Amino acid sequence: MARPALNKRLQCVQADHEEARMTQEQFEAAVEAAIDSIPDEFIDELDNVIFVVEDEPSEEQAAGADDENASFADDELLGLYDGSPLTERDSFYGTGELPDVITIFKGPHERCFAEEGEDVLLDEIRRTVIHEVGHFFGNDEETLAAMGY
């Protein structure tokens, strides 16, 4: 996985209330930076996984989200892991399997954290990415919470 330079600071678009709002490109760059912050030994284990950025969760995604596969804030779905956790894969895994998908949602992040400023918004995007990667590795909510995610 290519690792873009992390020194490109995001310039958020300012909204009416001095909230940190991002363009789609800026949000995607923040998600990429969060992925790039994951140590290589974990990145190397992300087999058959793709990352997707969406504006909002679909009705199907919202209905299928629970504490075992998603990140929430104020009942907003921030991120979702859809796939077979590494701990549940057997020797037959990979035979025609579709990729696992980690989806990060832009709208909920902005609604929950934009008014707290750019640094908080960027930190929450990073936390969500790491949280969903944690679900890929088979971590439950209790374990992720103990780790600060």
Residue 87, pLDDT above cutoff 60: yes
Model confidence, pTM = 0.80
**What pLDDT shows up at residue 8?**
31
**What pLDDT shows up at residue 5?**
31
- Asked whether the beta carbons of 11 and 30 are under 8 A apart, the reply is no
Mean pLDDT (whole number) for 91-98 = 76
Residue 9, pLDDT above cutoff 60: no
Give the whole-angstrom CA distance, residue 123 versus residue 101. Answer: 21
Backbone angles phi, psi at 71, to 5 degrees: -115, 135
Instruction: Give the model confidence (pLDDT) of 95-144 as tens digits.
Output: 777 899 999 999 999 999 988 889 999 999 999 999 999 999 998 888 88
Residue 54, pLDDT above cutoff 50: yes
- Asked whether the beta carbons of 148 and 93 are under 8 A apart, the reply is no
Question: What architecture is domain 19-87+96-138?
Answer: 2-Layer Sandwich (3.30)
**What pLDDT shows up at residue 67?**
65
The three-class DSSP label of residue 18 is coil
The encoded tokens of residue 23 equal 């363009």
Give the whole-angstrom CA distance, residue 149 versus residue 147. Answer: 6
Ranges of each domain in the chain: 19-87+96-138
Confidence of residue 145 (pLDDT cuts 50, 70, 90): confident
Residue 2, pLDDT above cutoff 70: no
Angle at 49 between CA 64 and CA 133, to 5 degrees: 70
The residue among 123 and 64 whose pLDDT is bigger is 123
Give the count of beta carbons closer than 10 Å to the beta carbon of residue 130.
20
Confidence of residue 19 (pLDDT cuts 50, 70, 90): low
